[in-house]
Structure 1
Amino acid sequence: MADLLPELPLGKTWIRASEGESGDAVYRRSDGAAFAKASLGEGAVQLDEERRRTEWLAPFALGSAAVLDWHASSDGACLVTRAVAGVPASDLSASDLLKAWPSIADRVKALHEIPVADCPFARSLSAMFDRAADVVSRNAVNPDFLDPEHQAIAPPVLLDRLRAQLPARLAQEARDLVVCHGDACLPNFMVDPETLRCTGFIDLGRLGTADRYVDFSLLLANARETWTDAAQPLAARQSLFEAHRISTPDDERLAFYLHLDPLTWG
Structure 2
Amino acid sequence: MNTIEQLLPRLPTGATWEPASEGESGDAVFRRSDGAAFAKVSLGAGAVSLDEERHRTEWLAPYGIGSARVLDWRVTTEGACLVTTALPGVPASDLQATELLRAWPSMAQRLRALHEIPSGECPFARPLSVMFDRAADVVARGAVNPEFLDPDQQDVPPPLLLERLHTDLPRRLAQEKQDLVVCHGDACLPNFLVDPQTLRCTGLIDVGRLGTADRYVDLSLLLGNARDSWRDAQDARTAHALLFTQLGIDAPDDGRLDFYLRLDPLTWG
- 1:215 to partner: Cα distance: 0.3
Query: Distance between the aligned counterparts of 1:65 and 1:251, measured in 2?
Result: 32
> Which one of the candidate residues 184, 187, 194 is aligned to 2:187?
184
Match of 1:67 in 2: 70
Match of 2:10 in 1: 7
Query: Distance between the aligned counterparts of 1:79 and 1:166, measured in 2?
Result: 36
Deviations 1:171-230 (A, max 9, x none): 000000000000000000000000110000100000000000000000001111111122
Match of 1:94 in 2: 97
Query: Distance between the aligned counterparts of 1:2 and 1:237, measured in 2?
Result: 44
- 1:244 to partner: Cα distance: 1.5
Query: Distance between the aligned counterparts of 2:167 and 2:254, measured in 1?
Result: 17
Match of 1:261 in 2: 264
CA RMSD of aligned residues (A): 0.7
- 1:105 to partner: Cα distance: 0.4
Query: Is the partner of 1:35 in helix, strand or coil?
Result: strand
User: Moved runs in structure 1, 4+ residues, more than 2 A?
Assistant: none
Aligned length: 266
Query: Distance between the aligned counterparts of 1:180 and 1:9, measured in 2?
Result: 37
Query: Is the partner of 2:229 in helix, strand or coil?
Result: coil
Q: 1:124 is aligned with what amino acid?
A: P
Identity of aligned residues (%): 70
Deviations 1:84-113 (A, max 9, x none): 100000001100000000000000000000
Match of 1:172 in 2: 175
> Which one of the candidate residues 128, 148, 159 is aligned to 1:145?
148
Structure 2 residue 148 is the aligned partner of structure 1 residue 119: no
Match of 1:49 in 2: 52
> Which one of the candidate residues 205, 214, 217 is aligned to 1:214?
217
Query: Is the partner of 1:68 in helix, strand or coil?
Result: strand
Query: Is the partner of 1:199 in helix, strand or coil?
Result: strand
Q: 1:23 is aligned with what amino acid?
A: G
Q: 1:98 is aligned with what amino acid?
A: L
- 1:2 to partner: Cα distance: 2.3
Q: 2:110 is aligned with what amino acid?
A: R
Structure 2 residue 135 is the aligned partner of structure 1 residue 132: yes
Q: 2:186 is aligned with what amino acid?
A: D
Deviations 1:125-169 (A, max 9, x none): 011111111111110100000010000001011011111111110
Match of 1:205 in 2: 208
Match of 1:241 in 2: 244
Query: Distance between the aligned counterparts of 2:216 and 2:75, measured in 1?
Result: 34
Query: Distance between the aligned counterparts of 2:13 and 2:240, measured in 1?
Result: 48
Match of 2:26 in 1: 23
Query: Distance between the aligned counterparts of 1:121 and 1:77, measured in 2?
Result: 21
Q: 2:44 is aligned with what amino acid?
A: G
TM-score by length of 2: 0.98
Query: Distance between the aligned counterparts of 1:167 and 1:128, measured in 2?
Result: 14
Query: Distance between the aligned counterparts of 1:131 and 1:249, measured in 2?
Result: 27
Q: 1:14 is aligned with what amino acid?
A: W
- 1:49 to partner: Cα distance: 0.3
